[in-house]
A and B are shown apart, each in its own frame.
Chain A
């Protein structure tokens, strides 16, 4: 049903002979703020916490890393795991593996302040299949190739899917890459991934990651998605991090599959 939003945006593009121009705006500068991005999943990969800083709008996209922080993750069974700085600003632990149903609390002490966040790994639904498909993206973009992920939703409302993709190993945006099950509980879900800014070409390898996230993470991602949509008043999304940092701590399930575009 996210398609309704897509359709409305598409309609504006269809109807109006709109004209886009890159302009310069006098945007205010801000003091750098701490951004925490923490993940733990059940796929056996490391738990990773990245610490970066915000930069001014006009600055080149190189985000300063924050070094020398103390980072740990505890679970609701009382186990504690320290994360060590494996590269500048990136803190990892290879031992801890996320378990479905467990809650994890991340604690970060950086530059004299402590931040905490708690997230729970929800239940998982396996990828049934991924296929290559096409999508009619309107007059300007035409027909574009897409990748569709299918899975069967479990009965009971409250499952939140988050889809990410890498094309030739480079992370790419997935517009409307989140979906809850309020319109298809217990159903067979076709999740179509369309990115008109990075069109798929023959020979590209698309890697799809299907995550299931808890409600707070879902809300955070919805906020980011709406800001990007440009149709609502943007605001910093509501984070689960307590202590005043930007970012999110996501404990989730993870499953990856790849497809080569023909």
Chain B
């Protein structure tokens, strides 16, 4: 690792000297690229300086760009897919501000929907393993219950796999589901699903842009091993009032966007709620009180331009799930996030963003019996300060650097008992820790063929008192308790995370890329469950739990067709994982102060190849993705210390996505997915204990679930009956699991109810033929 740091430092110094040498005789043009109709800033739009050797830059996540030009008359072209390009000629004699307002090519329902794919970006961008999510496609693709969902759509990309049937949880390149950093306007979302994972917490009406990094994370991101999903909310219409919504089988949505002061500030609010009577079965009153189950979420955002150089944003998310099974049992859980941001441009080339972020996840449960009520809760609360700088040194050299400090406070489970006669609940230690990071990342176009992004992230975690910390022996029995006072440092960890990606054009339309990444994870989801539970608790690293580490190397080959209709990409990767966590059999996670004694630590490795062929334009668009991969874990205490397949190890994974415009009003889409069944542990024998049949297991995850495959279709209809441009509506008709495949959700083993001398295998399958209808409107 030392040599890789040295190499990075060397390239860093070299890159800078070269950059500075060029930066004398030019002026800087900077500004924002916006949607002319709504004033929404465009992320990832290109601004090209036309000339003998055209040179281009891309807008950052706030729509800001900065480009250098020689004095005199220059021509600049800004473009963004599905928007008409805009050309401006100006006479440059000093540093100047130049804003672009791009007009949408097709003014239709999805007019603010954005596709950020640039022409041939596949080939030229140095970052590997990144997918921009096309929000327009999300609206067209079939999805269960007709609820459009970013986290479901990304599962159709190579290397990204669903945790389970219909689940918003996912595994990236063999990583666990808790190894994905999900950011909503920079705030981490700790439990990104509703209703036990069947819906994601993201209302796609409120989302402007989303990218997923499955490798080659730039140094500004850190904290999780496998992936980053960076989701940006819409700013709101800065020109006029804008109302959109939809009515579906499961939920209804509404969003309102409007200017605060025209062209200076705007706000947006989006809300969604499921119908109380969706799950009719729940409504039956059996004399034990009414049952209910629903969720709602609200997204809010406001922004205001204080001056030409300053803009502030306030965004928030609040969501809640509520479950009541009887008068004696109810539970609710949800996330809350808030982000306050200030953009400032120093001079014309240094863009600064300062963020104050709040992020929390709460779970609470109430259980009653005739005398007593028990109230249990768990939560994690983060306060987060972030400072980021984008410095456009030259048109070929850009430096990002910044710092981040997060205070995590975790309550792994507190139980309040209403009645003294019911006794006392064992107190659990609240855990406080400070996670901090410094980073720098340099993007450098070395020449027409070679582009490099390299950087370093230095991250640390300080585990703080007050509280009791425990030591355990190798059987998991507590051997020592040490009490720390408030603010006392129990343990600190420091890690250097080098990041490097490069692309080299081997021909005008083909390139090869390489990357190396180290990632560190200091928050760990405590769960020994095979499905996502709202009760799962995040714990920071402690004296016992060490930071998880991942080193990933990847190589890729990319080719675009001449007319830019087709693109092909292939990536191979190898990941080495350290300080991975598993659980002892019989581990008790919930509100267990000694849970660390139930943990086991080991290593892992993941490798694979991902192939993708995409058709980008025409009446038929879509892609075919294929992944061949392996992920294994190794723990001294499990499987006799030999490598075993992780549950998410699925050898083959295929997804086919097609969208076809049938007419001006109708389009259809279809998806087909296939994957090898998950690696699971089945019994290889049985015996009897306490007169009950008990199963014998010989090998961890030595069996496979049956292969999973499914086809979904959707038809979308956009009538043009209302000639007024202001009002539009559309219909989506979907069918999930078209051919009714009975995919195994779980396989269980039990004695036959009537003949106990026989043991049977029972397969549970969930969704067959789930139709959906959604009506969307906008005015």
Chain A residues engaging chain B, CB cutoff 8 angstroms: 1, 3-4, 7-8, 10-12, 14-25, 27-30, 33, 35, 37, 52-58, 60-63, 136, 139, 142-143, 153, 157, 164, 171, 173, 181-190, 197, 219-224, 226-227, 230-238, 246-248
Contacts and interface: CB of A to CB of B under 8 A. Distances in A.
A25 B426 contact: no
B393 to A, nearest CB: 51
B687 A35 contact: yes
Residue among B529, B531, B685 having the largest count of chain A Cβ atoms under 10 Å: B685
A157 to B, nearest CB: 6
Given A33-B685, A181-B423, 6 more contacts: A25-B682, A27-B683, A136-B288, A171-B692, A233-B528, A236-B697
A248 B586 CA distance: 14
B447 interface: no
B761 A24 contact: yes
24 contacts: A4-B365, A14-B282, A15-B198, A18-B764, A21-B742, A28-B684, A28-B702, A56-B685, A57-B749, A61-B758, A63-B687, A143-B288, A182-B426, A184-B425, A187-B422, A197-B753, A220-B586, A226-B586, A230-B748, A231-B529, A234-B695, A235-B700, A236-B696, A246-B696
A74 B450 CA distance: 77
Interface residues of B, number: 93
B421 A188 contact: yes
A112 to B, nearest CB: 20
A63 B756 CA distance: 13
B615 to A, nearest CB: 36
B701 interface: yes
Given A183-B374, A185-B426, A33 B325 contact: no
Contacts of B367: 1, 3-4
Contact of A11 (B293, B528, B687, B766): B293
Contact of B425 (A30, A139, A171, A183): A183
Contact of B424 (A30, A186, A231, A247): A186
A23 B761 contact: yes
A247 B689 contact: yes
A44 to B, nearest CB: 20
A143 B685 CA distance: 34
Contacts of B750: 197
By Cβ-Cβ distance, the 5 closest A-B pairs, closest first, are: A187-B423, A223-B586, A171-B691, A184-B423, A222-B586
A37 B325 contact: no
Nearest to A24: B761
Interface in B29-67: none
A35 B763 contact: no
Interface string B755-772: 011111111111110000
B698 interface: yes
A53 B684 CA distance: 13
Interface stretch (B131-139, B256-264, B352-360, B587-595): B587-595
Contacts of A4: 331, 365, 367, 376, 535, 590
Contacts of A234: 585, 681, 683, 695, 697
B683 to A, nearest CB: 6
Nearest to B325: A7
A63 B688 contact: yes
Contacts of A27: 682-684, 703
Nearest to A190: B369
B760 A237 contact: no
Contacts of A11: 196, 293, 323, 325
A16 B372 CA distance: 31
A18 B745 contact: yes
Contact of B529 (A20, A227, A232): A232
Contacts of A53: 687
Contacts of B284: 139
Residue among A37, A183, A226 having the largest count of chain B Cβ atoms under 10 Å: A183
B17 interface: no
B474 interface: no
Interface in B729-779: 742, 745-751, 753, 756-768
Contacts of B628: none
Interface string B670-696: 000000000011111111111111111
Contact of B647 (A233, A235, A246): A233
B772 to A, nearest CB: 14
A192 B734 CA distance: 44
Contacts of B287: 136, 143
Contacts of B329: 3, 7
A96 B337 CA distance: 63
A164 to B, nearest CB: 6
A233 B701 contact: yes
Contacts of A219: 586
A15 B763 contact: no
B105 interface: no
Given A23-B761, A136-B325, A173-B692, A55 B687 contact: yes
A28 B371 CA distance: 50
A54 B422 CA distance: 42
Interface in B524-557: 528-531, 533, 535
A238 to B, nearest CB: 6
A54 B286 contact: no
Contacts of A237: 585-586
B417 A183 contact: yes
Contact of A54 (B369, B680, B682, B686): B686
A177 to B, nearest CB: 9
B423 A185 contact: yes
Contacts of A55: 685-687
B688 A57 contact: no
A182 B196 contact: no
A232 B372 CA distance: 30
A214 to B, nearest CB: 12
Contacts of A54: 685-687, 696
Given A14-B282, A171-B690, A235-B697, A19 B683 contact: no
Contacts of B698: 28, 30
Contacts of A14: 279, 281-282, 291, 293, 325
B371 A233 contact: no
Contacts of B286: 136, 142-143
Contact of B761 (A22, A183, A236, A246): A22
Residue among B690, B692, B751 having the largest count of chain A Cβ atoms under 10 Å: B690
Contacts of A143: 286-288
A125 to B, nearest CB: 12
B325 A60 contact: no
Nearest to B421: A188
Contacts of A23: 747, 761-763
A136 B689 CA distance: 29
A233 B530 contact: yes
A220 B753 CA distance: 25
A52 B529 CA distance: 31
Contacts of A58: 759
B624 interface: no
